[in-house]
Structure 1
Amino acid sequence: MKHIFTTGPVPPQLIADSIAAHSKQQNIGAHSIFLGQVRNDEVHGAQVTAIEYSAYEAMALEQMHQIREDVITRYQLTCMHVHHSLGMVKAGELCLFVFTSAPRRKAAIAACEEVVERIKATLPIWGKEIFDNASVQWKQNT
C-alpha cells in the first residue's frame, strides 16, 4: 500500500521529479496532472489564509489503495501517483498532486479526473480553514 501523505504543502520539486522519472518509459503516451491549491476565499468578510488538513490515515490509505487498483485496471494505466497534504498549507500552496500515465491521453485524463473526484468524495481527509481574523471553520468539499 502506497503512502500518499505529505506533511505541509506538496513541494514543487516532488512534482518535477515525478515527471522526470517517467521520461525513460517508452510505453507511456500521455500524462495527466491535477494540482490542488489552497485558495484565499472570502467567507463572511474574512479571507482564508491557510487550511489545516487532518485525516484518518489508516482508513484513507486503505481506501486509496482500492481506488488505485480500480482506476489502474479500468483505464489500463502505466502508473499513478497521489500526494495529499496533512497539516498547515498556506493560501497559494499546493495541497494535492494526482499524476496518471497511460499509453493514450483519453485514459490518462479520465483516470486523473476520476481519482480526484473519488478522493474528494470518499477519503476521510478534512480541512479546517484558517481566516485572517483568527476564526476557523471546517471546509466543505465541492
Structure 2
Amino acid sequence: MSEKKIKNIFVAGPIDPAFIADSIAKHGSKTAIGGHSIFMGQVRRDEVDGKLVDAIAYTAYEELALEKMHQIREDIFEKYPLNCMHVYHSLGTVKAGQICLFVFTSSAHRKPAIDACSELVERLKAELPIWGKELFDNDTHQWKENI
C-alpha cells in the first residue's frame, strides 16, 4: 500500500446537493479530464411490512472502514487510469429523498471513469463496515440489509 494519507469519506448527515454541485464545478479547470462518472445513493421511502421508511441512521466502524476504503482507492487507481476519485458517505440520520453516498470518478476517457465508478460502488457496499438502521413512520426501526 502506498504512503498516501488516508482520506476521511464520512459526512455528518445527508450530503448537500450544493456540495455535490461545487465538487463537479471544481473539475472544469482540469482540462486533461474527458469523462466523469457520478453515482449518488439516495434514501428510498420503501414500504416494509406496511411501514414506510422515513430515514436511515448510518453508523460505521470508522477506523476499519477508512483503512479498507484506502485499500479500495489504491486498487481502483492501480486498475483504472483515473485522474481523480471522490467518495463521500453519510453517517447519522438521512431522511428519505436525501443523498447518503456520492461517488465521483474522472479520467481522460469515459469508459475508465464509468467502469471505476461502478466497481467502486459495488466494493463499498460489499466491503466497508457501514450499517444502516431503517427508521419507520410508526417510530419502529430495523437494520437494513445491504443489497
The reply to whether TM is greater than 0.5 is: yes
Identity of aligned pairs, percent? 64
The equivalent of 1:57 in structure 2 is 62
Deviation beyond 4 Å, 4+ runs, structure 1: none
Question: Is 2:91 the counterpart of 1:86?
Answer: yes
Q: TM-score, normalised by structure 2?
A: 0.95
Task: Kindly state the Cα deviation for residue 26 of structure 1 after the two structures are TM-superposed.
Answer: 1.1
Q: Please show how residues 68-79 of structure 1 align to structure 2 within 5 Å.
A: 68-79=73-84
Q: In structure 2, what residue type is equivalent to 1:63? A: K
Q: In structure 2, what residue type is equivalent to 1:4? A: I
The equivalent of 1:134 in structure 2 is 139
Question: Is 2:111 the counterpart of 1:106?
Answer: yes
Q: Alpha carbon RMSD of aligned pairs, Å? A: 0.5
2:102 equivalent among 75, 97, 118: 97
Task: Kindly state the Cα deviation for residue 20 of structure 1 after the two structures are TM-superposed.
Answer: 1.1
Unaligned runs of 5+ in 1: none
How far apart, in 2, do the equivalents of 1:82 and 1:15 lie? 11
Deviations 1:75-109 (A, max 9, x none): 11000000000000000000000000001101000
Q: Is the partner of 1:23 in helix, strand or coil?
A: helix
Equivalent pairs counted in the alignment come to: 142
Task: Kindly state the Cα deviation for residue 14 of structure 1 after the two structures are TM-superposed.
Answer: 1.2
Q: TM-score, normalised by structure 1?
A: 0.99
Unaligned runs of 5+ in 2: 1-5
Task: Kindly state the Cα deviation for residue 73 of structure 1 after the two structures are TM-superposed.
Answer: 1.6
